[in-house]
Amino acid sequence: MRGYRYLPDVVTLEFDPDLCVGCGRCFDVCPHQVFVIKENKAWMVDRDACMECGACARNCPVKAITVDAGVGCATGLIGEWLNEIKPRRKGCS
Amino acid sequence: MSYIVPPGLYAVGQPTPDSPVIVTANYKMTYDLVRQALVRCDAWLLVLETYGINVWCAAGKGTFGTQEIVRRVVSSRLVELVNHRSLVLPILGAPGVAAHQVKSQCGFLIRYAANRAADLPEYLGNGMQTTPVMRALSFSLAERLVLIPVELVLELKAVTLIALAVLLGFSLAGSFADGLQAFSAYAGAFGCGIALTPVLLPWLSGRRFALKGALLGLLWTCCCYFLSGGGWPLLVTLAAVLVLPAVSAYHALNFTGCTPYTSRSGVRKELRNSLPVMAGAVGTGLLLLLISLFV
Ligand code: SF4
Ligand code: SF4
């Protein structure tokens, strides 16, 4: 995606080339062209562009890709953290 | 006005058993966009039950998903209507759909076509080839602008309460004019984060949203200082420099939920790093203001 780039070296995307059968689905579905297909194999060429949408992992027929998918929403994450803290507080009292 | 289209199979133009089957969500705006794009085409339109939510969000929730596709293919008796066995899907629906599972459960091959409905005619016309242009995601000024009102509405209640508290606090501590000035300063900082940051997004340096927001907030603080004719007490000036950029940074960071390129892990990291700084800045600023009352 031209002109936009987020933090490097943070995403949970993992790819195991040994499992890949080269079907090309990951290339088809990725909105950020993280994968390319060369010599009947997928290559992860731009890992930092990944937005963790989970499309590649869901569509890979051999589970060669894993990613902790979710929406990058600050309000949502703060809400989750607050929910995690609440029961802990109760447990302490 | 209803935002929901009843799910099911629709005909566009005069479809035959050879016509393509396009899959979409039952959010009215999405449905209308697809229909508009297909005005000159003959096609089947398979509308999924996504409860009036657009493709991208519904795919994230899983309602635009494998099970719903299989269910609709069966209930609409698609097998009896068409000769081929393929479904055309928007690329942005892929996070919810496992193509190989759809194939094994109902026999239909999924083709991910394009990101935008407007590219559908070209895709159907060129033998169902996705060109790099159809694949490229955009986040233009117009696309960013439409997101701002939604964010505004979400934040409005909390922000109004804070703004009134600011107005009241400064009016009581000084004069009503002070209150109005502080009120505008706060409202402006909020605007910098929630509206100006999205507008200027690609041109603001750095990758961190909080930094982009803080930068604009700082510029705004300078504007406030000079517009008001300057001459603020030192403690108040310090407090403004600490609090206003933090307010802007916080709202800028919230925009990550709307962009199509920020990863959850990235946002988590940025929040971890910046929340304590923002809270510290606001806390210190409030403390300075309190002290300024007594000196
Ligand atoms: S998770 Fe989404 S953005 Fe990341 S590589 Fe997979 S398809 Fe691309
Ligand atoms: S979807 Fe999986 S098997 Fe297919 S090319 Fe990508 S990694 Fe390889």
CA B122 from centre of chain: 27
Residue B117 reports pLDDT greater than 60:
yes
pLDDT digits (tens, 9 = 90+) for A29-78: 999 999 999 999 999 999 999 999 999 999 999 999 999 998 877 888 88
Q: In the numeric block, which tokens belong to residue B134? A: 């159809």
Are residues B271 and A74, on separate chains, in Cβ contact within 8 Å?
yes
Domain ranges of chain B: 8-135, 141-293
Query: Is it true that domain B8-135 has CATH number 3.40.50.11600?
Result: yes
Average pLDDT over residues B20-39: 96
Find chain B residues with C-beta within 8 A of A50's C-beta.
263
pLDDT digits (tens, 9 = 90+) for B53-63: 999 989 988 99
CB proximity B67 to A under 8 Å: no
User: Which domains does chain A carry?
Assistant: 14-84 (3.30.70.20)
Across chain B, mean pLDDT equals 95
Q: Is the ipTM of this complex over 0.85?
A: yes
Residue whose CA is at the smallest distance from ligand 2 atom 2: A60
Residue A88 reports pLDDT greater than 80:
no
Q: State which H helix or E strand residue B51 sits in.
A: none
Position B150 scores a pLDDT of: 85
Of A31, A55, A71, the CB nearest to B137: A31
Q: DSSP labels for B89-155? A: E-GGGGGG--HHHHHHHH-PEEEE--SSGGGHHHHHHTTS---HHHH-----HHHHHTHHHHHHHHH
Are residues B266 and A72, on separate chains, in Cβ contact within 8 Å?
yes
Contact present, A83 and A67 (Cβ < 8 Å): no
Give yes or no for residue A42 CB within 6 A of ligand 1.
no
Determine the Cα–Cα distance for residues B151 and A52; give it in Å rounded to an integer.
22
pLDDT digits (tens, 9 = 90+) for B205-264: 899 999 999 999 999 999 999 999 888 999 999 999 999 999 999 999 999 988 999 999
pLDDT digits (tens, 9 = 90+) for B66-116: 999 999 999 999 999 999 999 999 999 999 999 999 999 999 999 999 999
Position A3 scores a pLDDT of: 82
Residue whose CA is at the smallest distance from ligand 2 atom 1: A60
Residue percentage of chain B with pLDDT more than 70:
100
Q: Model's pTM, two decimal places?
A: 0.89
Q: In the numeric block, which tokens belong to residue B4? A: 């929901």
Confidence of residue A93 (pLDDT cuts 50, 70, 90): very low
Residue among A26, A67, A71 to mutate when testing ligand 1 (max atoms within 8 A of CB): A67
Q: How far away, in angstroms, is B130 Cα from ligand 1 center? A: 18
Position B1 scores a pLDDT of: 54
Are residues A6 and B271, on separate chains, in Cβ contact within 8 Å?
no
Average pLDDT over residues B179-196: 97
